[in-house]
Amino acid sequence: MSERSDARLIADADTDPAAFRALYDRYAASVFAVARKRTGDRESALDITAETFAQAWQSRGRFADSCGGSAGPWLFGILRHVLARAAHARQGQLDAVHALALDRRSAEVSVVSDWLDGLDEEVEAALSALPPAQRRAVELRVIRDQDYAVVAAELGCSTTAARIKVSRGLSGLRARLDPTQPQEQTP
């Protein structure tokens, strides 16, 4: 991937998910650094970085190589727009807080080191509890990032049926993993 130009990575991203990841790896630190400098806040900078790359992904089809294969100017143009929208939204929030005379103290959240303990096992158990066709559909589409055509071919069904299997599989996973859902009791 390192030998491919940014333009080639963007062009390849539709069929090769690793291509967009390589582009992200090339620019994420720089985009984050600019966002951090502008916002002065790590969490906001992370959000802005994520939004910049989400916008880049969505608009990749409109990318026009005007810089000899470099996507830097394009990405930083997107970043500029994301920063402008974030600043406008932030100003609106501050105006509302001031107008309503709200207390701006934020709640502190402490990270508990065992939040992730056992998560892999829970996900694996929830995945294993799905009907085999749904499990395979989710594995192919979500875990392996395959197109629905590949999922359909693997399962021997139409792409519409493959989409339904993935959707039902994800709904099943959500139901098993969501702590607010009532869980089946085992004797």
Q: What is the CATH number of the domain that holds 128?
A: 1.10.10.10
Residues 23 and 55 in one domain: yes
Q: Is residue 141 part of a domain?
A: yes
Average pLDDT, the chain: 81
Domains of the chain: total: 2
Q: What is the pLDDT of residue 100?
A: 73
Q: Is residue 138 part of a domain?
A: yes
Question: What is the 3-state composition of the chain as percent helix, strand, coil, each rounded to the nearest 5?
Answer: 70, 0, 30
Residues 139 and 95 in one domain: no
Q: How many CB atoms lie within 10 A of CB 1?
A: 14
Q: What is the CATH number of the domain that holds 54?
A: 1.10.1740.10
| Full-model pTM | 0.51
Domain of residue 160, residue span: 119-177
Distance of CA 105 to CAs 11, 108, 173, Å?
Answer: 46, 9, 36
Domain boundary among 71, 100, 129: 100
pLDDT (tens digit, 0 to 9) for every residue of the chain, 187 residues total? 668 899 999 999 989 989 999 999 999 999 999 888 888 888 888 999 999 999 999 999 999 887 888 888 899 999 988 888 877 776 666 666 667 766 555 544 444 444 456 656 777 888 899 999 999 998 888 777 788 899 999 999 998 999 999 889 888 887 777 655 554 443 3
Residues 96 and 124 in one domain: no
Residues 13 and 61 in one domain: yes
